[in-house]
Structure 1
Amino acid sequence: MNALDRVIAAVSPQTAVKRAAARRKLDILDSGYGNYGASHTKKSLAGWLYGGGSAKEDIQDNLSTLRQRCRDLYMGVPLATGALKTCRTNVIGSGLRLKSQIDYEALGMDEEAARDLERKIEREFSLWADSTACDLERLDNFYELQQLAFLNWLMSGDVIATLPVTKRANMPYDLRICLIEADRLSNPNGIVDPHIIGGVETNDAGEVVAYHISKHHPLSYDMTETGWTRVEAWGAKTGRRNVLHIMNRERIGQRRGVPFLAPVIEALKQLGRYTDAELVAAVVSGMFTVFIEKESASSDGGFGEIIPEDAQVDAGDDSTIELAPGAIVDLNEGEKAHDMNPGRPNTAFDGFVVAICRQIGAALEIPYELLVKNFNASYSASRGALLEAWKMFRMYRTWLANDFCQPVYEEWFAEAVAKGRIPAPGFFSDPLIRKAYTGAEWNGPAQGLLNPVQEVTAAEKRVQNGFSTRDREAMEMNGSDFYRNAAQLKREEKMLREVKENGENGNAAGKTEE
């Protein structure tokens, strides 16, 4: 206690105690993180306006604005459009394809019988998945629905898929997929209920039990049909999955997904505005017009009137002046022209845009080179960028396969077994047997090869040392199937032998005749 505190303590002990307590609090604040990121005294942090809440306050209460802004960026900012389509193309491509992987050991089957059953399963699934009949709207096949669902997840943060059953001619399977845009999942009539957040209903334990889906789109002007449908997440008797909620959580307690572009909305919008301004400035620079000053009054028309009416783009706007390439406009008496150099194109434009794109790419886990499709660096740098990007692509591919493709496949498989189109004894009686039959891999587009010779050699060594398999390497390199490749090679080798044998027999017959 210093001298001042001792004097205060003698006069007012209570005040002295408060001063001592306050000093102790400051000591606590100025320790550990209090000296750095949590400091309340540093000038560099004093003006930081911060605040936070639970996942509901931070995410759910801002979702409507985030969704609409992300969609607007997708529709109007080229870099945002490119980022989403780059993810869509590399993660999904033409679609994640089924490769059945039966656990034949758990089922007591021999390997050859399991391979035959896997081929039958894949043929039956193709019958359903390759047809638009799998779509409730009958517009897309299963692989196109994957593209649509993933792109909508990128823009909106989550996607809802229901699995209704509808009979259709010439299609033995009745399972259908109905994709629903994120906005339609909402609280009925905007009610405030702690158990219903963003249309997702939970019980007291926090388990999701139902989804409230609006019959109309809340942003649509067409309000002819209003109301909400409560869809249970799981069938009460069968345990069937009624709703697939495709989302990627980033907070505990989060019930709705965040759009992919949410962290970089401001940067993308400002970059889009800057790009538009530079583009307009460059166009105006290209339209630079010469003004001539005369001593006597001019009888020529005023600004813009020299341009033919059919060439004017905004003649009805009095606030603009029409310019044209190479136009010469007279000035009236007493008027002077001042030459103006707009300095376009801006030499600093490219460097600034590159710097911002690198930050955006870092936030989205898309390397700058891939974000702008510009590979001017060395082979090692380009390969490193692609490898980093593919870590993210594979993560999202696995996530979508687990949350969308596999659940749909399991529902389809159950229908196929129930209708006797696929033999699977014990499928409905034992969950372990069900899991063994529905094992699968979902393979998408291959990464591609920057240096084919080196990468093929590396693949050979991985197989030789047991680090990988021929099947996996075939899928990684060009998205093909090793077993089908081997069967095709067998047929080609047989055909080549027959051609050679026929050629040799023909030559031998010719020599005999001679």
Structure 2
Amino acid sequence: MVKRKKAIPAKARHPTEGNENNKKIIIVNSGYSEGGASRTRSTLRGYNPLKSSTKADVDVNLATLRNRSADLVCNSPLGSSAINTSRSNVIGAGLKVSPKIDYRLLGLTAEEAKEWQRQAFREFNLWANSTACDLYRKNNFFDMQDIAYMSYLVDGDGWAAIKYRRPVPDNPYCLRVQLFEASRVCNPNSSGSYGSPSYYDVEMTNNKNGNRIINGIEIDSDGAVVAYWVANRVPFDLSDPAAVLKWQRVEAFGKLSGRPNILQISHEERPEQYRGVPILAPVIEVLKQVSRYTNAELTAAIIKSFYTLFFTTNNNIDDMNDVLSSTYGQAEAVTPEDLAHVEVGPGTLNLLPPGVDVKSMDASRTMSTFEPFTNMMISQIGAAIGTPAEVLLSRFQSSYSAARGALLQAASNFKTRRTWFARDFCQPVYEAWLAEAVAIGRISAPGYGSDPIITKAWSNADWFGPVMGMLDPVKEVTGAALRVKYGFSTGERESAELTGTDYDSNIDQIAIEQQTWRAKGLEPPKADNTGGNGGDNDGKILAGEE
């Protein structure tokens, strides 16, 4: 008998096993490999960017970005508009403080809290409205906000130092704020802000403690900021190249108070990023090209405005005397050099001899594509920096809804940047001022400094900036009234955001004015009941039907 072989069960195969071509196709077609990650498509074959560390991507290029950003702000109308539009809408005349203490936690009544907040507001403005708050004695606190925000936009980060000096006769406070250039925060012995940076310009080691110093910011082994290195002047200062550069190490936080000694106004976009990037960084190339295109069109328009004539003749050039003889007289000898000074006057007639002709230079140039092309580029620039083109150009030519939509979109961006700025600059300065005010007895705050949560409860504050423009005041005020009526907002907030005024002050002034009307035997005007008939039409108003 033939012995039967034992059947061996077949092994399970991987779907791609045994066919290398199929395996390759599956790998190539997975995920983005046939899309944005394709290395075979002609449009992407040579497109191989590299995302590296923030030091390689940001810090190495920061000096170049700052220089180009500053140049565009100075020499490009569109670049200047991008910065000034944000500055005027975010900061305006300066952010105003509105103390908002947690009176329930502090055991105060609402009336006691309101009185304390009024006192704190008055005391802070005593310090903030004086140039004594500035170490240089040039600007008050609100003007300093404008300068700091400008530096934040152009350089990527703004810098301020908290210092104390003896009080002056008209201001009892010692607190001083010193603004300084972002380029002064750099590694010791760095080459400055010109040319290609060396490795030591970006990162070096503090030999005394082993900490790393990245672009002027010293960090410990955890990556936490512990100190800043500040130069005594701007590196590579062409106005004073012989001055000796010195660096000072400044502790980031006070050892006893824990409050910051140096304020960095910046908004980082990546982890492990220690320096900010200019707001114009993503659009520098486009801005420069649009600026060049605009200058080229401007030059072409100037050339087009010239009126140039050419005298052509088949005769000898000396016969050109005959061409202009009737105008300039027989006694004058006209040479080819004289033709450069010939002017065409109104109503002038010239008798040309046979063989002489006059031709004008055609300087026509079409600009049919200039405006739509630049408008498209400006729209892209505005989208990149968060400012719609209509707001960037201060030109509203569309419908009310479209214009309001552009304003609301811009206002959202401006409010976000205002929040960042208040958090990085205004609030820390306010807290430093409040600590001194409590210490010298000008403000009473029981428990301040004894417990962090109590200190925070006394330090809470809101910051209000310039109001957003109103295209239709009736609709804006109606919406504000409805928000207050249904509890979506408060009179104080709406007053600050609509008109930039204080609600309590408005009520007090209205009471005085109404009393004046009655004293004159007149009935004071009454505010309309929003919604009409006790609110029966509120739904129509909200729906835009009335």
Matched residue type, 2:337: G
Partner of 2:231: 214
Q: Distance in 2 between matches of 1:140 and 1:325?
A: 57
Pair 1:449–1:325, CA change in 2 (3 A): farther
- Unpaired segments of 5 or more residues in structure 1? 1-18, 309-322, 503-514
How far the C-alpha of 1:501 sits from its partner, in A, is: 8.3
Q: Deviation above 3 Å: which 4+ runs of structure 1? A: 19-27, 323-329, 334-340
Cα deviation code 1:469-496 (max 9, x no counterpart): 1111111211111111011111111222
The equivalent of 1:379 in structure 2 is: 400
Question: In the TM superposition, what are the counterparts of 1:64-79 in structure 2 within 5 Å?
Answer: 64-79=63-78
Which segment is superposed worse, 121-130 or 159-168? 159-168
1:189 is matched with 189
The structural deviation recorded for 1:347 is 2.4
* Equivalent residues of 1:292, 1:328 under 8 A apart: no
Aligned to 2:122: 123
Q: Which residue of 2 aligns with 1:15?
A: none
- 1:302 equivalent to 2:337? Answer yes
Q: Which moved more, 1:239-248 or 1:219-228?
A: 219-228
2:221 corresponding residue in structure 1: 204
TM-score of the aligned structures, taking structure 1 as reference length: 0.86
Aligned twin of 1:315: none
Question: Per the alignment, do residues 492 and 61 of structure 1 end up closer, same or farther by CA in structure 2, a change over 3 Å counting?
Answer: same
Say whether the 8 Å CA contact 2:311–2:356 is kept in structure 1: no
Matched residue type, 2:252: A
| Separation in structure 1 between the aligned mates of residue 290 and residue 473 of structure 2, nearest angstrom | 37
The CA distance in 2 between the partners of 1:47 and 1:324, in whole Å, is: 60
User: Which residue of structure 1 aligns with residue 38 of structure 2?
Assistant: 39
Q: Give distance in 1, aligned partners of 2:498 and 2:347.
A: 55
Match of 2:308?
A: 289
Which letter maps to 1:208? V
Query: SS at the partner of 1:162?
Result: strand
Secondary structure of 1:43 counterpart: coil
Alpha-carbon RMSD? 2.7
1:486-497 correspondence runs (5 A): 486-497=507-518
Instruction: Rate the CA distance shift 1:494–1:50 in 2: closer, same or farther, 3 A.
Output: same
CA distance in 1, matches of 2:473, 2:96: 24
* Alignment pair present for 1:276 and 2:295: yes
Contact 1:290/1:328, CA 8 A, preserved across alignment: no
> Is the contact made by 1:289 and 1:325 (CA closer than 8 Å) also made in structure 2?
no
Q: 2:258 aligned with 1:259, yes or no?
A: no
Please give the alpha-carbon distance, in whole angstroms, between the structure 2 residues aligned to 1:42 and 1:456: 56
Moved more, 41-50 or 175-184: 41-50
Residue 173 of structure 2 corresponds to which residue in structure 1? 173
| Equivalent residue letter for 2:226 | V
How far residue 407 of structure 1 moved from its aligned partner, in angstroms, is 0.2
What amino acid does structure 2 have at the position aligned with 1:425? P
* Corresponding position of 2:544: none
Aligned counterpart, 2:477: 456
- Identify the residue that residue 508 of structure 1 maps to in structure 2: none
| Contact preservation (8 Å) 2:308, 2:360 | no
| Structure 2 match to 1:319 | none
CA distance in 1, matches of 2:296, 2:175: 51
Instruction: Please state whether the residue corresponding to 1:178 is helix, strand or coil.
Output: strand
C-alpha change, 1:437 and 1:307, in structure 2 (3 Å) is farther
Change (3 A) 1:324 1:101: farther
Please name the residue that 2:486 is paired with.
Answer: 465
Structure 2 residue matching 1:293: 3-state secondary structure: strand
**Structure 1 pair 337–158 and aligned structure 2 pair: CA distance change class (3 A):** farther
- 1:210 Cα deviation after fit: 0.4
Distance 1:271 1:412 in 2: 46
Please tell me the residue identity of whatever aligns with 1:193: M
Q: Is contact 2:165-2:174 (8 Å) kept?
A: yes
Asked whether the equivalents of residues 310 and 361 of structure 2 are also in contact (C-alpha less than 8 Å), the reply is no
2:98 match? 99
Residues 230-257 of structure 1: CA deviation (Å, up to 9, x unaligned): 1010112332310101110011110100
Partner in structure 2 of residue 152 of structure 1:
151
Distance 1:23 1:72, change over 3 A: farther
**What is the deviation of 1:25?**
5.8
Q: Whole-Å Cα distance in 1 between the matches of residues 59 and 311 of structure 2? A: 61
- Choose 66-75 or 222-231, whichever is displaced more: 222-231
Change (3 A) 1:284 1:324: farther
The CA distance in 2 between the partners of 1:105 and 1:326, in whole Å, is 88
Instruction: Note if contact 2:307-2:360 (Cα within 8 Å) is conserved in structure 1.
Output: no
- SS where residue 472 of structure 1 aligns? helix
- Residues 278-314 of structure 1: CA deviation (Å, up to 9, x unaligned): 1111111112222223434243353885189xxxxxx
* C-alpha contact 1:307 1:324 (8 A) present in aligned 2: no
2:331 counterpart residue number: none
Q: Secondary structure at the match of 2:341?
A: coil
User: Which segment is superposed worse, 160-169 or 59-68?
Assistant: 160-169
Deviation at 1:44, TM superposition (A): 2.0
Distance 1:462 1:22, change over 3 A: same
* Cα deviation 1:247-279 (Å, max 9, x = unaligned): 100111101000000000000001101111111
CA contact (8 A) 2:220 2:226 kept: yes
Question: What is the identity, as a one-letter code, of the residue corresponding to 1:302?
Answer: E
- Structure 1 pair 281–21 and aligned structure 2 pair: CA distance change class (3 A): same
- How far, CA to CA, are the matches of 1:324 and 1:24 in structure 2? 84
Q: Which deviations, in whole Å up to 9, do the C-alpha atoms of 1:188-247 show, x marking residues without a partner? A: 013342611110110000100000011121131214131101101011233231010111
Q: Which runs of 5+ in 2 are unaligned?
A: 1-17, 191-199, 206-211, 321-333, 524-546
Q: Contact 1:361–1:368 (CA<8 Å) still a contact in 2?
A: yes
Distance 1:46 1:326 in 2: 66
1:8-23 paired onto structure 2 within 5 Å? none
Q: How far 1:123 sits from its partner (Å)? A: 0.7
In structure 1, the partner of 2:266 is 247
1:314 matched residue in structure 2: none
Q: Which residue of 1 aligns with 2:110?
A: 111
